[in-house]
A and B are shown apart, each in its own frame.
Chain A
């Protein structure tokens, strides 16, 4: 049972570089999410997707882009990396509806990103 798989696990970037954080899930979940986690700040939603071809901004989308071409994959792209984007990034998925879900989100193990 792979669940949600994130790659890479660790990465160091220089200011101004770009990279893509990969996320794939094998549970056929319709919703997928990207969060960042900073110490003492909980999880902040960056972007989410309710299905293939549909994405929407979360609470902190600036400096990031996403795409959802398939149900399984939801990559997060950082353009022009900045020190403020140093964080731990988590991808999650769930089976939800627009009204409400009460369904758990299943998380990957995170990507630890440092920008120097």
Chain B
């Protein structure tokens, strides 16, 4: 059974601080997606990383896929209150077309 361990589970920081969220597995994934979820809504895709070692940037958010395709990280620079939400990583296994394995999520709170 493929598992994704996401850490930390909770993170409360001040506006302007930097943070990193980690997503780790012993399994290899064909791709890894990061979603953000706000209260009362469904998750919304932020980014998909496909190639081992790939780095993608989305404004102040930097996503990295590990060289071995078993782990990923999300780094936020100068966090803002608008970044508050639940961040979820999700991996797609080989020949598991469309099916995702989700991590437990990281609840981020950015205080002004």
How many residues belonging to B are interface residues under a CB distance threshold of 8 Å? Answer: 28
Q: Any chain B CB within 8 A of the CB of A74?
A: no
Main secondary structure of the interface of A (DSSP, over half): loop
Given contacts A40-B104, A45-B99, contact A104 B45 (CB under 8 A): yes
A107 touches B98 (CB 8 A): no
Residues of B within 8 A of A101 (CB): 92, 97-98
B88 touches A109 (CB 8 A): no
Q: Mark A22-54, 1 if CB is under 8 A from B, else 0.
A: 000000000101010000111111001010000
Give 3 nearest A-B pairs by CB, closest first: A107-B42, A96-B98, A104-B45
B residues within 8 Å of A by Cβ? 4, 6, 9, 30-31, 33, 40-45, 48, 50, 88, 90, 92, 94-100, 102-105
A residues within 8 Å of B by Cβ? 4, 31, 33, 35, 40-45, 48, 50, 58, 90, 92, 94, 96-105, 107-110
Extra inter-chain contacts (19) besides given A40-B9, A102-B31, A110-B41, CB under 8 Å: A33-B98, A40-B105, A41-B104, A42-B103, A43-B43, A43-B100, A45-B100, A96-B98, A97-B97, A98-B95, A100-B94, A101-B92, A101-B98, A102-B30, A102-B92, A104-B45, A109-B40, A109-B42, A110-B40
